């Protein structure tokens, strides 16, 4: 019947039970498993409520007060509130910093930064992906440009010392003198130590480059004040909002305002980043912002200013360090020898295990992590390590004693992978086949999985109780 909206008000479990069954299976997987992917977290009920709100319905291309559509009175207020809370969460003076909260996620945010300040085929430098950098920081191989940041811009990576796993700042300084980048990226995807932003600033200044800090992984730790902040030394800072910050999946760009430098004539050179970055986000790369996500980001920033949030971030780091110590006691090598943040990288070469097999066996026993390159690896497709993180487990209430249990599960899983390899031989496809076909292995995997899941179920998940 025309105008009948009864069908639009049905619950998803009534109108689409097949889909809802899959959603519930995912909820069960999250509750029963140990989530150790360093870039994942469990967001709060207030964030989920924002994401499923009426704000999703509104189109609002442009900035507050400058929209291309009518009816944005309250949407403007929400975005302005989000901007205000973003600056407050990182203790920033609005006279010195501005912020754009519209990027859809971290990679689009980074591309917007490059689009704003680096001309096409201009030069950028970021930490190489095999050394702990991110795809969006310019990754390319000898035969192929992998990410848009290397397709549209000229990329030169900097590296870590292969012996220590630590960034080689001296080498970065020498390479920058030769390459003369327009922008240097201080950011990581799998690097377990705090960055030396002061040294980055000095290298950027020596070469007339912007310093762009991508704090996507560590922004929650920065907001809580438990690790050094990039803002003192950076021109531009980006972040995702769903990792340690524990908000919805989105991105944010902070940019300097005011005086950038004073020239030889004593004249002030002003920053012009605000209009460039805002225009790069829209209309340069995006259309209408996701207003429900912006509201979720706003409430996540409010949470980030609480004492409870600081306590949470301190526990994230404590748990990561406990995880390091526990794995090292079993003889596993942790790259850089430890961690200052929420993640660690385990080099499995000395244990005789590949990253892909480790990831697969841990997934089979309901521990989620990801295979990862370690310094010295030749191929990102066949890496020698795994990346482990503690934000999600800490959200569920894990403390150091619980992490000790997790270490034991990981060790037993990795030892089991060696048993499988003895049967399967070196090929991953055969490894996976043995996991499915060998009755003895299947029984051992099932028994260990049941232990892991029984343990995991004792810890709650935030959010809706059933989905």
Kindly list the catalytic residues. 190, 242
Nearest to 289 by CA among 137, 39, 118, 69: 69
Evaluate the omega torsion of the peptide bond into residue 101 and state whether it is cis, within 30 degrees of 0.
no
* Structure-block tokens of residue 142: 């000898």
239 membership: H or E segment, kind and range: strand 236-240
Contact between 374 and 420 under an 8 Å Cβ cutoff? The reply is no
- In order of 201, 208, 261, 272, 409, the CA distances from 267 in angstroms are 22, 17, 8, 15, 62
- Interior angle at CA 328, CA 326 and CA 332, nearest 5: 120
Measure the CA–CA gap between 54 and 154, rounded to whole angstroms.
42
Measure the CA–CA gap between 285 and 108, rounded to whole angstroms.
8
- Interior angle at CA 56, CA 55 and CA 57, nearest 5: 90
Contact between 238 and 245 under an 8 Å Cβ cutoff? The reply is no
DSSP string, 407-437: HHHHHHHHHHHHHHHHHH-S-HHHHHHHHHH
Residue 214: other Cβ atoms inside 10 A: 30
φ, ψ of residue 321 to 5 degrees: the values are -70, -40
* Structure-block tokens of residue 435: 């996991």
DSSP string, 146-182: -SHHHHSSEE--B-B-TTT--B-HHHHHHHHHHH--S
Q: Give the pairing of strands 259-262 and 268-270.
A: antiparallel
């Amino acid at each position: 019947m025309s105008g009948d909206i009864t069908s639009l008000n049905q619950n998803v479990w009534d109108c689409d039970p097949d889909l809802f069954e899959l959603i519930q299976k995912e909820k069960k997987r999250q509750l029963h498993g140990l989530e150790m992917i360093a870039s994942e977290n469990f967001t709060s009920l207030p964030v989920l409520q924002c994401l499923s709100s009426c704000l999703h319905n509104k189109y609002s291309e442009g900035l507050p007060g400058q929209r291309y559509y009518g009816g944005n009175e309250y949407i403007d207020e929400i975005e302005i509130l989000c901007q205000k809370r973003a600056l407050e969460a990182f203790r920033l003076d609005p006279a010195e910093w501005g912020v754009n909260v519209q990027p859809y996620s971290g990679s689009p945010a980074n591309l917007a930064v490059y689009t704003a300040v680096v001309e096409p085929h201009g030069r950028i430098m970021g930490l190489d992906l095999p050394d702990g950098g991110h795809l969006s920081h310019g990754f390319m191989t000898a035969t192929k440009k992998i990410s848009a940041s290397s397709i549209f811009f000229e990329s030169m990576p900097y590296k870590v010392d292969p012996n220590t796993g630590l960034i080689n700042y001296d080498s970065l300084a020498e390479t920058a003198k030769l390459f003369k980048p327009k922008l240097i990226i201080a950011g990581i995807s799998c690097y377990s130590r705090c960055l030396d932003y002061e040294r980055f600033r000095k290298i950027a200044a020596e070469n007339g480059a912007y310093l762009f800090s991508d704090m996507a992984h560590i922004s929650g730790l920065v907001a809580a004040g438990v690790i050094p902040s990039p803002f003192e030394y950076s021109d531009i800072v980006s972040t995702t909002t769903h990792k340690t910050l524990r908000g919805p999946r989105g991105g944010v760009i902070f940019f300097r305002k005011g005086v950038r430098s004073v020239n030889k004539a004593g004249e002030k050179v002003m920053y012009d980043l605000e209009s460039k970055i805002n225009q790069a986000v829209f209309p340069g790369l995006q259309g209408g912002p996701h207003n429900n996500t912006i509201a979720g980001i706003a409430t996540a920033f409010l949470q980030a200013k609480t004492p409870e949030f600081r306590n949470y971030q301190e526990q994230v780091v404590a748990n990561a360090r406990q995880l390091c110590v526990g794995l090292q006691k079993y003889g596993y090598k942790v790259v850089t020898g430890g961690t200052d943040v929420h993640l660690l990288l385990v080099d499995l070469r000395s244990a005789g295990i590949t990253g892909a097999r480790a990831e697969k066996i841990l997934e089979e026993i309901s521990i989620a992590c990801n295979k990862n390159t370690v310094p010295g690896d030749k191929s990102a497709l066949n890496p020698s390590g795994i990346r482990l993180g503690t934000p999600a487990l800490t959200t569920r209430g894990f403390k150091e004693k619980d992490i000790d249990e997790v270490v034991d599960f990981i060790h037993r899983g990795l030892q089991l992978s060696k048993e499988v390899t003895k049967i399967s031989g070196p090929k991953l496809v055969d490894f996976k086949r043995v996991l499915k076909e060998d009755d003895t292995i299947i029984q051992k995997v099932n028994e260990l999985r049941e232990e892991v899941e029984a343990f995991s179920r004792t810890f709650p998940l935030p959010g809706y109780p059933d989905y």
